[in-house]
Amino acid sequence: MVQGTHAQGRGGQRPATLLLGIEGLAVASVGLEDDGARVVEVVTDEETAAACPECGVLSTSVKERATTRPRDVPYGVAPIRLVWHKTRWRCRETRCPRGSFTESLPSVPARSRLTTRLRSECGERIATDASCVQAAAARYRVSWPVAHAAFVAHVDAELAAPLPPVEVLGIDETRRGKPVWAQDPDTCRWHLVADRWLTGIVDAAGTGGLLGHVDGRTAEVVADWLRDQPQAWLDGVTHVCIDLSGSYAKAVADALPDAVLVADRFHLVRLGNDMVTAVRQRATRELRGRRGRKKDPEWASRRRLLTGHERLSPVAFARLWNGLIDAGDLGVEILHAYAVKEALRDLLALAPTPGTSVPDRSAISHRLWRFLDLAAATDSPEVHRLAATIEAWWPAIEAGLVTGHSNARSEGYNRLAKHQGRNAFGFRNTENQRRRIRWACTRQHRRASAKNREVPGQVR
């Protein structure tokens, strides 16, 4: 074994001790093993390590010597193997229930096989590099449970911090896994066995990110989460953005009666597109007695019907219009549904964006009347259902047109949630899933908080 240098470094410490950098341990020697690993033999260099952890009295009675091999962070290509020669002391304090104890340090706690910095670096790598637990466990030569526990210790303290002030909440659901179906052996019919959902509650207008994840998508679970928050925090919420979900609307009415409900415009446009598709499919079945085919003009134009008028070139729009006009009554009914959808888009386009002003009430009233007038001029039941939905949700829709708030951030965090699920190849433990997703969806808030802490004297 090749011995290490004995030259003195800063503060009277050996250079090898300074290079190792573990507080309270001094390097006695360094050697090489046959496989190229570096063996670093260390001894305790901290007087307080001889203090009894129970009563705190320093001991001078040696019971025996012990040797442990804690693992440390990797450094270089060849591994480093620590050999810690430490002392087991007797506690001579008569009132202390502890008879003996072995030296321990904050950098290497009692009964720990890993150094503190190894656990911290492993957990931080999983959290900051978006690495899976197994990859970090392989890198640091620890088991999966140890690596996961390090990640939990790294993130739980920050996730448990009080929620930041929020003015606009966003509520949306995301499916947890795939729905499970089973076939009835008697009737041969398929029925849904399990369809698991998570509801995300986010800061829809700030940097708070994903504030909470609850199991299910019922009004009860969402209202319970809201009631668990401090009343001062709830009083700061002025608007809540949702899709057209009666369950979420009921939860907001129960837990946040003073907040203004805002209907997300994206889901309204999607309702309009779904209405056009439903009209096209029904009219084709009724008038042609079959499903649409490639030669049918309404089927050939199915993509153009779902595209906004302003995004269609003049040639594409002329092909759409002329093809459906030539189809007769079938095409006219579909074009009428398309016009209703475009009138709805024109109405929703009044919502203000950054740099634009709030629309006039007269402009909102005019475009709403135009939409309802077009909807009333057709006999299509799908169009009438859409108009009834708009009338039922009009206060929430109008709030979105006046404020410009939307649930776009909820949709973005849903994408991140699905991305985390794919990275982990699925989650079996719901708590682990919520933790990983919420950590991934609060990066912006953590960066903003760190930036505020760096500015001295800044009021937060």
The β-bridge partners of 65 are 87
Report the distance separating Cα 50 and Cα 58, nearest Å: 5
* Torsion of Cα atoms, 264 then 269 then 275 then 277, to 10°: -130
Write out pLDDT tens, residues 23-49. 889 999 999 988 888 999 999 988 889
Instruction: Report the distance separating Cα 164 and Cα 132, nearest Å.
Output: 28
Q: How confident is the model at residue 454 (pLDDT cuts 50, 70, 90)?
A: low
Distance CA 76, CA 407 (A): 48
The average pLDDT across 87-112 equals 90
- Confidence bin at 7 (pLDDT 50/70/90): very low
pLDDT: is 198 or 130 the higher one? 198
Helices 430-440 and 408-423: angle between axes, nearest 10 degrees? 120
pLDDT at 450 over 90: no
> How many whole angstroms separate alpha carbon 1 and alpha carbon 322?
90
Which residue has better confidence, 145 or 448? 145
What integer pLDDT is reported at residue 457 of this predicted model? 53
- Residue 16 pLDDT: 81
- Read off the tokens for 359: 């629309």
Average pLDDT over residues 242-266: 95
Q: Mind listing the pLDDT tens digit for each residue in 401-415?
A: 999 999 999 999 999
In the prediction, which pLDDT does 248 show? 95
Domain extents for the chain? 1-113, 114-161, 168-264+407-442, 265-403
Mean pLDDT for 198-220 is 92
pLDDT band, very low/low/confident/very high, at 15 (cuts 50, 70, 90) = confident
Using one digit for the tens of pLDDT, what is the confidence trace for 351-376?
998 878 889 999 999 999 999 999 99
CATH of 168-264+407-442, one of 1.10.8, 2.40.10, 1.10.3470, 3.30.420: 3.30.420
Reduced to 3 states, what is the DSSP secondary structure of residue 201? strand
| 3-class DSSP assignment, residue 426 | coil
CA contacts within 13 A on the Cβ side of 427: 22
Return phi, psi of residue 193, to 5°.
-95, -45
Q: d(Cα 407, Cα 156) in Å, to the nearest integer?
A: 27
Helix (H) or strand (E) holding 5: none
Instruction: Give the pLDDT score at 456.
Output: 54
Mean pLDDT throughout 220-230? 95
Residue 307 pLDDT > 80:
yes
Look over the chain and give the mean of its residue pLDDT values, rounded to a whole number. Answer: 89
> What does the pLDDT average to over 281-293?
92
Q: Which amino acid is at 370?
A: R
Q: What is the pLDDT of residue 12?
A: 52
Instruction: Classify the C-alpha dihedral 166-170-171-175 as positive or negative.
Output: negative
Q: How would DSSP label each residue in 277-308?
A: HHHHHHHHHHHHSS---TTSHHHHTHHHHTS-
pLDDT value at residue 460: 43
Distances 63 to 89, 103, 235, 309 between C-alpha atoms, Å: 5, 12, 62, 87
Greater pLDDT, 283 or 157: 283
In sequence order, the β-bridge partners of residue 40 are 30, 82
Q: Up-side HSE of residue 347: CA atoms within 13 Å toward CB?
A: 29
335 pLDDT above the threshold of 70: yes
Instruction: Please list the residues that pair with 80 across neighbouring strands.
Output: 38
Q: What is the mean pLDDT of residues 54-73?
A: 91
| Distant-in-sequence, close-in-space partners of 409: CB < 8 Å, separation ≥ 6 | 170, 202, 203, 204, 205
